[in-house]
Amino acid sequence: MGYMFPLSKSITKGQPFGSNPGGVNPSGGHTGEDYPCPVGTPVRAPGDGVIAYEGFPQTMNGSDNPWLLTKGGGLVAVLDCGDAEPTFIFGHLNQTVVDKGQRVRKGDIIGYTGNTGLWTTGPHLHFEVLLPGYWLYSSTYGRSNPSSVCDHYWEDLNKPLKANERMVGNAQVNQRAEPKIGAPIVRVIEPKTREVWEGFVRGEVVDAGGGNRSDLWLKDAQGYASVLFFDPTTVDGLPDLTPRTEALAPNERKAGASVVNQRKEPRLGAPVVREIPAGSKEVWEGFVEGDEVVGADGSRSKLWYKDSIGYASILFFDPVSTDGLPNLTPAPAPVVTPIPDPPAPEPAPEYPTLNGVDVSNHQAGINVRTLGAGFVGIKATEGVGWSDPALISTLASTRASGVPALFYHFARPVGPENSAQAEAESFLKVVLPLLAPGDLMALDWEAEHQENTAWALEWLERVEKATGRKPLIYMNASTANAHDWSSVKAAGYALWLAAYPSSATVEGFRVPGNPPSVPGWTVAIWQYASTGRLPGYGGNLDLNVFYGDLAAWHALAAPIEEPPAPEAGTAPEAPEIDEKALIMRFLEALVDDYLDGH
């Protein structure tokens, strides 16, 4: 739905927009719509916005205000719905119940109709709209037809909901591409709007606070939204559209959504012996190892299913697994190879560095003590109110390894509820109880609105003020070079740069030369690979290098200044006890004891 008419549906329109040109009207005719109605009829806000003006204009030519309001309109209110949204004007009011600068919601009463002003022949509401980019000196003084903007009434918002309808609550709702909290946002649904849904699916559990948790997501053609932010918060009357996994025998696999080429040998260039139809069930004798295949999602595998006809890569079937199938790879013939000369020692770096990794819940359960890292970046929080489920276990392993931690926050500056202040406070609430001497912090800047450098600066300054330590900011080279970061650079915040010279697997900590150019930045850490492999972990890892030794790290993590001493004669305020933090530290100690014993 768009904007609503300010009066009840029962009140009919009198003089329409554009009628009666000349006289008190400009050459383009009547500048709004008139609705005759009794004095005291409620006037409601057509949409969310801010009251930009409320009162009696003082001139006949409108020179005392930016909308050309005159004495002829009597008591007037102006509602500004945003830079890219309409501005609404309500004239001849008898009374207003709002003040200039007050924020109102769609449907809120802003005043009552009357018969004030010079240009009126009886009680009515004069209703005008200015669209974005209006020109005040047009033939209608920049006004447009309100009926081109408003398409429903207050009664429409309060009629009973259909079985497939849900009403949005008092805040905007992010609709996502998948039923997951971190999935891309495809649409922002405005408050107090009706939405029609095709059905529901089960997805990631959402915690809306106050004990409200659910894994149910409403679904339409555009995406998914958690039921917790709608009224009613049920799926009654909606079909369950959750995809069902078809049961397969241990030696069966189901082809994906596209035709699969089966080849004569487990090689990419081998002749195609059969085209396997999309979605078909296939029975396999076993699997072999062959050429590496890269899937459309970037996944890689050297394993190929085998039957009497030929071979097909496992990446194009469901499940992508060889469980229950025998390994039919022929044993290689023994090869006698000469013992190679030992490799020449690698030259020592020109300056000392520290190697490190950064992890999140995607590497849950990782034991960083086996990796040989000099520091560990740990995802702590994202947006507002979300903390990484693997934070405590990863931190415990990091503490046991005796290396410093780098806590980072994944920014989501997508709406008013995700202000820099709110996200900084959410991060500090989780991290402050865990922060130890030598630990660093960082802002992960890679999601929405990367051009909003002021948001990033405010977050960095708030965290620095609360901790006495300068956090880093993480981003790729194109973002670092594309926007105006002058205020962040001038404030001395160093860069954690993400730039991958190659997508190939990197075995061990091998820094590939120098990072790309980012003029004006001080690069403290370079994340040079996302496909790193290290002993003790079987998947890909992000590899990083810090430009300095451990002493340089501690110097960067050192508090900038001591907190001010309390004034004489005053006792310091007793700190608030954070029970959650105490429990987290207790669990951390238990994990430390367990790791030391194993």
8 A C-beta contact, residue 7 and residue 147: no
Alpha carbon separation from 285 to 253, 307, 551 (Å, rounded): 11, 5, 58
- Residues 301-334, buried b or exposed e (16+ Cβ, 10 A)? bebbbbeeebbbbbbbbeeeebeebeeebeeeee
Query: For every residue of 98-153, which 3-state class applies, written as one string?
Result: CCCCCEECCCCEEEEEECCCCCCCCCEEEEEEECCCCCCCCCCCCEECHHHCEEEC
Tokens of 277: 């139809």
pLDDT of residue 306: 96
Same domain, 267 and 212: no
465-501 tens-digit pLDDT: 999 999 999 999 999 999 999 999 999 999 999 999 9
356-394 tens-digit pLDDT: 999 999 998 898 988 999 999 999 999 999 999 999 999
Q: Is residue 243 part of a domain?
A: no
pLDDT of residue 61: 85
Which band of pLDDT confidence, cut at 50, 70 and 90, is reported for residue 335?
low
pLDDT of residue 383: 94
Whole-number Å distance between alpha carbons of 202 and 198: 14
Residue ranges of E strands in 465-598: 472-476, 495-498, 506-507, 523-533, 541-546
Which band of pLDDT confidence, cut at 50, 70 and 90, is reported for residue 598?
very low
Same domain, 32 and 132: yes
**Count: domains in the chain:** 4
Same domain, 547 and 486: yes
CATH number at residue 199: 2.30.30
Torsion, Cα 323 327 328 331, to 10 degrees, reads: 170
User: What phi, psi does 170 have (nearest 5°)?
Assistant: -85, 5
pLDDT above 80 for 162? yes
pLDDT of residue 169: 84
8 A C-beta contact, residue 240 and residue 224: no
Q: What is the mean pLDDT of residues 343-351?
A: 50
8 A C-beta contact, residue 51 and residue 97: no
- Residues 268-281, buried b or exposed e (16+ Cβ, 10 A)? eebeeeeebeeeee
**132 CB-side CA count, 13 A:** 5
537-574 tens-digit pLDDT: 989 999 999 999 999 999 988 876 544 444 444 433 43
The sign one gets for the Cα dihedral 131, 137, 141, 144 is negative
pLDDT of residue 501: 92
Q: What is the mean pLDDT of residues 496-514?
A: 92
Instruction: Give the Cβ contact number of residue 154 at 10 Å.
Output: 18
What average pLDDT does the structure give for the chain?
89
pLDDT of residue 167: 87
pLDDT of residue 591: 45
Same domain, 224 and 277: no
Q: What is the percentage of the chain residues whose pLDDT exceeds 90? A: 72
Q: What is the mean pLDDT of residues 274-288?
A: 93
Domain residues for the domain of 288 are: 252-318
Same domain, 508 and 359: yes
CATH number at residue 414: 3.20.20.80
176-198 tens-digit pLDDT: 999 999 999 999 998 878 899 99
pLDDT of residue 426: 96
Whole-number Å distance between alpha carbons of 560 and 493: 13
105-145 tens-digit pLDDT: 999 999 999 999 998 999 999 999 999 999 999 999 999 99
Q: Is residue 346 part of a domain?
A: no
pLDDT above 60 for 580? no
Same domain, 29 and 120: yes
Q: Is residue 581 part of a domain?
A: no
